[in-house]
Amino acid sequence: MTSVLTFDEVFQNLTRIVADALRVNPATITPDTNLIVDLDAESIDLVDIRFRIEEAYGFQIEQRAFVTGVAGDMPVGELVNLITMRRLVEFVMRRKGEAA
Amino acid sequence: MTAPRRVVITGVGAVSCYGAGTDSLWSGIAAGKSGASLVDIPGAEGLPVRFAASVPFATSMLETMLPSPRAGKTMSRAAMFAMIAAVEAARTAKLDPGAYDSARVGTSLGMGGLGLMDREHMDTTFDIFARTRDETAGAIDRARLYRTTMERIHPLTPLKALPNIAAANLAIQFGAHGPCQTHATACTSGTQAIGDAARLIRWNVCDTMIAGGADSMVNPNGIIAFAGLGVLSRNNAEFATAARPFDRRRDGFMLGEGAGMFILEDLETCRARGGVPIAELAGYGCTSDAHRLTDEPEDAHGSIAAMRAAIHDAGISFDAVNYVHAHGTGTMMNDRIETLAIRQTFGHHAQRIPVSSTKSMTGHLIAAAGALQLAISVLALRNGVVPPTINYSQPDPDCDLDCVPNTARRAAIDTVMSNCFGFGGQNACLIVRSM
């Protein structure tokens, strides 16, 4: 039987991952936190976060899939507004669901 | 014709076997304290050498000492040393990145062993090999090895391996938009990085340079590599006194790690901002033996030429030098040839100059050796104290200069030559003098 991941569970886990990757206080991270605007993430940080998610959840993510998956396949110029924790959690839940 | 630009040192920073900072460095050096300790490496009993002058911080601890901890994930251990020392140098120089013309500020760093040498990376590699062993065939399954490597090696690892990333991180930290250069010339890397940085100021390319060297070879790769070349002391039984430059019983060097970093400025630029020079970087000489990779020529022509070039560059007479901070590795060959070179360069004056090797205490920092050595030279000038060569008890007729045995000596020194020689026949010398 595959247990279903709840939003809160994934959010808590991703908060820890993102806080570790970006060396920020996890208490400052909410579902609306934007990784780029609020946490000043750059491209290498997204690569780092992708690797940490792969390690934690045991699935592989192409870097491109990761960015489009999180950003909803929007043009690059708009990524900045779309890489939020909420989108990240939904992406991981979707991928984990596909894997199950 | 305008007078040539003068280069002054306004800030010094260090990471060494004594910890972080120039205060701890000078306390250790002035006390003649050995930095030797047993290496903290699992399985060290399998290594030919089990001691070194290690920096007393785990890499995870170093990361917390960085001004921007997030940058640590792209930094090798050596790159972290460089950043920590550079922050100290900028602080002592009272350098204000908001106040300078950033296009006229450059970075110049001597680097050697890179992130792929770090123990953390080696541990990950071992784990990958363990997972990809094909037990039935008794060998590594290469296809599985490559797949597992792609999955397990952190994708930012290549940034730790690129030689220029440490200097690039310095440029980002200090908003230095001028030239950003990296020197990889073995044991002379740091000295050349500093010397060439001074030239950029003299040539009016830059007003300010953040310059120095950093290295970390105290890891299984570094120990095996240098032991394999036969240049390390293997005196594990007497590790605390194994580093014995100029002593008849010397049998190689002790590895060290760390960084020395400097703020170099054009004197007039420094004065205009109200900066205070600590010393003048007066001379630089750099040559190649063009002889053999690891044998020094018996006539020491390359190292003599480098010393003479530094003296000429400083515009001083050779007898103005009153302390030679020797390369003094503690290998049979280096100390013998360096003694000969100093005699040839200074003539009868050689007999009157103290010539000591602080590698007896700090170990040999490889690419950072000249940078830490210059930091100690500046501190020696400032304190009026000549550092000792410790662990010295049996004179060698081939090394018959005054090596300041075992105890630091108070002396009115104002001009110091710092020597550096490296594999490949690299020779580089710097001269610093009091202001």
What's the rounded mean pLDDT across residues B242-267? 98
| pLDDT higher at B142 or B406 | B406
Q: What percent of chain B has pLDDT over 70?
A: 100
**Distance (Å) from the alpha carbon of A98 to chain B's nearest alpha carbon:** 20
- Which parts of B153-216 fold into alpha helices (H)? 157-161, 165-174, 189-202
The average pLDDT across A56-80 equals: 79
Predicted confidence at residue B412, as pLDDT, reads 94
Which of A18, A22, A39, A48 to mutate against chain B (most B CBs within 10 Å)?
A: A48
Nearest neighbour of B156 by CB, restricted to A22, A23, A44: A44
Cβ distance B419 to B190 under 8 Å? no
The more confident residue out of B129 and A33 is A33
Assess whether pLDDT exceeds 70 at residue B30.
Answer: yes
Distance CA B297, CA B304 (A): 11
Mutation choice for A interface testing from B60, B70, B75, B169 by most A CBs within 10 A: B70
Q: Could you read off the pLDDT of B54-86 as tens digits, one per residue?
A: 999 999 999 999 999 888 999 999 999 999 999
Min Cα distance A86 → chain B (Å) is: 23
Q: Write down the pLDDT at residue B421.
A: 96
**Tokens describing residue B306:** 């480098």
pLDDT at B173 over 50: yes
Select the residue of A21, A44, A54 nearest B74 (Cβ to Cβ): A44
Tokens coding B426: 């690299």
At residue B28, does pLDDT exceed 70? yes
How do residues B262-301 score in pLDDT, each as one tens digit? Answer: 999 999 999 999 999 999 999 999 999 988 888 888 999 9
* A83 has pLDDT over 90: no
ipTM: 0.78
Tell me how far apart the terminal alpha carbons of chain A are, to the nearest angstrom: 10
CA dist B37 → B5, B49, B240, B255, B363 (Å): 44, 11, 7, 11, 11
**Picking from A23-32, B147-156, B322-331, B423-432, which range would have the lowest pLDDT averaged per residue?**
B147-156
Query: Can you give the pLDDT at residue A1?
Result: 45
Query: If you average pLDDT over residues A26-37, what whole number do you get?
Result: 95
Partners of residue A48 in chain B, C-beta under 8 Å: 73, 154-156
Give the chain B residue nearest A47 (alpha carbons).
Answer: B155
Distance CA B409, CA A48 (A): 52
Give per-residue pLDDT as tens, B331-353.
Answer: 999 999 999 999 999 999 999 99
Question: What residue spans of B67-108 are helical by DSSP H?
Answer: 77-92
Residues 6+ apart with CB under 8 A from B144: B131, B132, B134
The predicted model gives B91-100 an average pLDDT of 93
Distance in angstroms between the alpha carbons of the first and the last residue of chain B: 24
* Separation of alpha carbons B421 and B373, rounded Å: 12
Q: pTM of the predicted model, to two decimals?
A: 0.93
Structure confidence at residue A5 as a pLDDT band (50, 70, 90):
confident
Across A23-37, B110-124, B336-350, B412-426, least confident range: B110-124
**Gap between the Cα atoms of B75 and B70, Å rounded:** 10
> Is the CB of A47 less than 8 angstroms away from the CB of B155?
yes
pLDDT at A76: 65
Q: Do B70 and A60 touch (CB under 8 A)?
A: no
- Mean pLDDT, chain A, whole residue set: 87
Distance CA B385, CA B363 (A): 20
Residue B399 β-bridge partners: B396
Residues from chain B that touch A51, judged by Cβ atoms under 8 A, are: 154-156
- B70–A22 C-beta distance less than 8 A: yes
* Higher-pLDDT residue of B402, B124: B402
Give yes or no for a contact between B359 and B376, defined as CB atoms under 8 angstroms apart. no
Averaged pLDDT score across all residues of chain B: 95
So what's the pLDDT on residue A3?
Answer: 66
pLDDT tier at B169, thresholds 50, 70, 90: very high
- In angstroms, rounded to a whole number, what is the distance separating the alpha carbons of residues B212 and B356? 21
Do the chains contact at A51 and B155, CB–CB below 8 Å?
yes
**Is pLDDT above 80 for B106?**
yes
pLDDT above 90 covers what percent of chain B? 83
Q: Which residues contact B358 (CB under 8 A, 6 or more apart)?
A: B29, B325, B328, B372, B373, B376, B387, B389
Distance CA B53, CA B218 (A): 8
Long-range Cβ contact pairs of B41-47 (< 8 A, separation 24 or more):
B41/B119, B41/B219, B41/B220, B43/B220, B47/B220, B47/B223, B47/B224, B47/B227
